[in-house]
Structure 1
Amino acid sequence: MKPTAWNLLFICATIAYFTGMALQKDALQFACKPLLVSSLLGYFIAATKGVPSSFKKWTIGALLFSVGGDALLLPANGNELYFILGLVSFLIAHIFYILCFHRMKVQASIPGKWYTAIIVGVYYFFIMSFLLPHLGALKIPVVVYGIVISFMLLLAMHLYDLSDNTTARMLLTGAIFFVISDSALAINKFYHPVAWGGWAIMSTYILAQWLLVKGMTRFIITGSKPAT
């Protein structure tokens, strides 16, 4: 399939998924959720076909484990095992994004910035201090996951200094939306569930993955590639 076809599949899957949420049709949501990131994966592979880049494998790994996390979290309502497995799958996805962003930072010779660590650290300690009393047996997995996604955000903040401002904005905004989505999920699950929680979680998650895929695709295609 061509990139435009994968884009169309992503749009259709997104519309169908949110239609399922609006109509409270679980079967439609279950059918469409794995297609969301799968279609973005298909788009990324098709759009970067024939372009040599060592960054492709890290992005594909992140998307594959994201698809796995989506699938594992489908039956996770009330099932702690599936939730933990889904958490682990997304943790691995973030590790792939971390490896990718770190290599981009090194290739572009972007220096570290102390104030970005302070910003991310303040947010991490704020959200953890808020959630810790409510985590119960999942305290350690959630704390570790929070550290990993915070580090992913930290590296994305450094990438804002990439020479291609459009790519930089896509990657940073995508990382921010990912943190917002996971924070909303944690608050909704462990602190106080709200009726619109699912909409907040999924809309920011879909935007996050879309922006990250578009940013990485642009980074690879525009020639900002390392030697392979």
Structure 2
Amino acid sequence: MWLKKNGLYVLLAVSVILAILGVTTENFVFKSGTAGMGAVIILIMGIVDKSSIKEAWWIIGAFLFSIIGDWFLSHMNGDSTMFVKGIALFFLAHLGYLLYALRNGRIRGMFTAIVLTIYLAFFFLVLYPTFTDVTLMIASLVYLLISCFSLGAAMGIKGDLAAKRSFIFGIVLIIFSDTIIAFKEFVGYHSFDFLITPTYYLAHIFITFSLVKRFKSNVPTSN
């Protein structure tokens, strides 16, 4: 089938175009394009073969929560309440990534402990002294924890190696983008702000690519 051979990659190319438009414009339709197109691609794969990708609904949910969370952050205008709501929605997105990874593997305990140690040190030594809002501080800490656990779970995914590596890289890119946001919003460091949206959009593309690779490895091309 053409879809299994080339069609999904064509749709991924559309995601790349949407990412470029999202970076170069302020149009929210384009800014939500990579997550939205990722959800569409996964839905198409589910229609073609419902059993080809296990637990893919967790990723669709993660993408949808990311879109809504991005809307809150794009419209916060200095309102910390909007920022907390955005963090809560991105927490749900990471929960989706975590559950998907756990349904396809197991969490890597030692790796997770190392990442947690590094990011907790970053939080308490760099970010904590800047907080004046307790709710925002707690929300940020909880989000940091789920981010580390989702990366640890991604490291333990089983199956197609390219799919695993792509998923891991996608989660790494999200955490990298969030780290830059933390420096921007809490520390006032802006030198790397230009990397926030490109890495965020690339994360969605790599995660979607991961599911495409898993789909292609599970479904015979002769069908």
TM-score category by the smaller chain? 0.7 to 0.9
Do the aligned partners of residues 128 and 19 (structure 1) sit closer, same or farther apart at CA in structure 2, a change above 3 Å counting?
same
Alignment of 1:142-181 (within 5 A): 142-159=140-157, 162-181=158-177
Q: Sequence identity of aligned pairs in percent?
A: 24
**Of 14, 26, 31, which aligns to 2:19?**
14
**Of 193, 213, 216, which aligns to 1:218?**
213
**Of 40, 43, 49, which aligns to 1:42?**
40
**Of 119, 125, 129, which aligns to 1:124?**
119
Do the aligned partners of residues 217 and 164 (structure 1) sit closer, same or farther apart at CA in structure 2, a change above 3 Å counting?
same
Cα displacement string for residues 167-217 of structure 1 (whole angstroms, at most 9, x for unaligned residues):
1110111111111111111111110231541x2111111111111111123
Do the aligned partners of residues 73 and 167 (structure 1) sit closer, same or farther apart at CA in structure 2, a change above 3 Å counting?
same
Cα displacement string for residues 2-43 of structure 1 (whole angstroms, at most 9, x for unaligned residues):
6466435423322222223xxxxxxx3434212231122212
Do the aligned partners of residues 4 and 213 (structure 1) sit closer, same or farther apart at CA in structure 2, a change above 3 Å counting?
closer
Aligned partners of 1:113 and 1:158 also within 8 Å: yes
Alignment of 1:29-68 (within 5 A): 29-53=27-51, 54-68=54-68
Amino acid at match of 2:34: L
Normalised by the length of structure 1, the TM-score is 0.82
Q: 2:138 aligns to what? A: 140
Alignment of 1:52-131 (within 5 A): 52-53=50-51, 54-105=54-105, 113-129=108-124, 130-131=126-127
Name which of structure 1's ranges 93-102 and 188-197 shifts more when overlaid on structure 2: 188-197
1:186 aligns with 2:182: yes
Do the aligned partners of residues 104 and 47 (structure 1) sit closer, same or farther apart at CA in structure 2, a change above 3 Å counting?
same
Output the aligned Cα RMSD. Answer: 2.2
Do the aligned partners of residues 125 and 4 (structure 1) sit closer, same or farther apart at CA in structure 2, a change above 3 Å counting?
closer
Unaligned runs of 5+ in 1: 21-27
* Separation (CA, whole Å) in 2 of partners of 1:39 and 1:216: 13
Matched residue SS, 1:136: coil
* Separation (CA, whole Å) in 2 of partners of 1:128 and 1:104: 30
Aligned partners of 1:69 and 1:89 also within 8 Å: yes
Aligned partners of 1:48 and 1:220 also within 8 Å: no
Matched residue SS, 1:205: helix
Amino acid at match of 2:24: T
Matched residue SS, 2:111: helix
Aligned partners of 1:51 and 1:221 also within 8 Å: no
Matched residue SS, 2:96: helix
Moved >6 Å (runs of 4+): none
Matched residue SS, 2:190: coil
Unaligned runs of 5+ in 2: none
Per-residue deviation, 1:119: 1.9
